[in-house]
Structure 1
Amino acid sequence: MRGSGGARRRTSTYRRSLQMLPDMSFDADVFRVPAGFNAPEQVHITLGDLTGRAMTVSWVTPKLPGSNVVRYGLRANNLTLAADGTVRYGRYTFGRKYRSGFIHHATLTDLDYAITYHYAVGFSYTVRSFSFTTPPKPSPDVPYKLGMIGRNLSELGSELLVGMNGRGERFSAKGCEREVAEAATEEQRNDSLMRLSWALVHSKNQDDVNRGLGMLEASLDQSSSPLQTREKLYLLAVGHYRNGDYPRSRQLVDRCLEFQPDWRQALSLRKAIEDKIAKDGLIGIGIATTAVGLLVGGIAAIAARKK
């Protein structure tokens, strides 16, 4: 990619393995707010059709709607084509603190295969420029290399299965079990076992959770690295949390944090555990206080009757 002003952009070398890697730093350039008033943010592209001859550009303007136009062409200094897009005027809110920007989409059509196009967005205020290369013409012998920007195994957390019913969860576990059975190498089998363990401890079915806990306990001493041990400890903590064993979950998450004290996922889980323990403790105190009150009241009533 090329950025504004002709500065050359390049794809980050940051990579996530299937399993444990530290979180990307908040100081990473991809998280920085671009300079300029109402500059387009979160600019990204997706395939705009099923043939590879269209590309959809999406971006957000933080303050005002701005322009919906994407200008593009074969040279960065000669953007002769334009695509009119749309903007969502309704802005998303989350709680009291977050309000989204204005979300734009524009589709560039009739593109040629395997060609680099340059494009720019933000013409009302601050312009940002980028480039992309279209995929090759479809053919049985044309290879495609795809990249996935996402989270590692532990960070998938509960999001993936939120809202899924029991059937969906069982389907996820069955798929992982099939992966384990079909694994061609020991490394693939270990990866599949980790995915299966994750699916089980996040299940709504307690039998599945207990099965996942058993698998993780049995394999904990066979971990190939400290990071893998950390991953298993985290999943064990999740499983015990879901079973309501908060003290045990707290012990396990503390062991996770010995490996990486600033691991945000484990810190979030520990906070959830502490909230549960505090809530249960307050309930227990309330019950005990009520019982003492009733006892004292009863004694006082008996004494009054005797008088």
Structure 2
Amino acid sequence: MPFLPFGTRNLTLEEAHIDKRLECKQVTVETRDKCKLAGIIVKNDDNTIIDDHEPIIIYFQGNAGNMLFRIPIFSKLILHSSNIVKRVQIVAVGYRGYWFSTGSPSEKGLQIDALAIYEFVRRLYPKNPIYIYGHSLGGAVALYLASNEKIQKDLKGIIIENAFTSIKDMVTTIYPQKWLPYKYLVNIPLLNRNKWDNYRVIQGIKIPILFLSSRNDEIVPQEQMIELHKMAKISKKKVWVEFKNALHEDIFSHKGFVEAIKVFINETISDIRSR
């Protein structure tokens, strides 16, 4: 962690192919341990000032590449003909060690990053409803953030796409052979500092959760998403949307992606949550 395809560290905003109907602004978020995280804010380029009722999505990426690779996802959410609720802005900030962000990635480090990103967004948008969206590794980061009781009370909902139950389960999936040492080594605390125990964390999430799951996920077995859905027992609203022909990375290109998120936001944005 992380996997960075060739050229992704040096790809600039100016070099990215961004739809002219989008406004994409680069931002920097500083963490409490002085890492500087590079990110973007994406919205419709129509010069309209966002009001306090319009949703903000904090997007946490998967393990590969950088946030500029996710521009097609953001374009789909913002520019799709059916659109989200009124207007939406997406804040997508890279973890330490990703893109131009300083520092080296680790579970503890990414957790610090998540808190800093949330605080940055809340300062920027003090009254807007906030949703967090995590894909794969980003699902783990999103669940960690939502597990903070104070922050959870401030969120309208969480969207999880093709997340895993734990690093231990993923190691067993990738290396099932009994003669390989990896699945045994993850049981040694000093050797396994990145646990991402989503199976446990999701059991404390009370806010609405939208699960976006690829039946043909070639990276994270769908059974792990099914298990996460099962263990989200105290969530006040669980929504499961399956994409039969989708792979790990391409749910956004399949029919029903935008509609699922639009319905989820419409049904939760005005909810009065009991605390």
Which TM-score tier does this pair reach, normalised by the shorter chain?
A: under 0.3
TM-score normalized with structure 1 length: 0.22
| Structure ranking higher in helix proportion | 1
Q: Compare CA radii of gyration and give the structure with the larger one.
A: 1
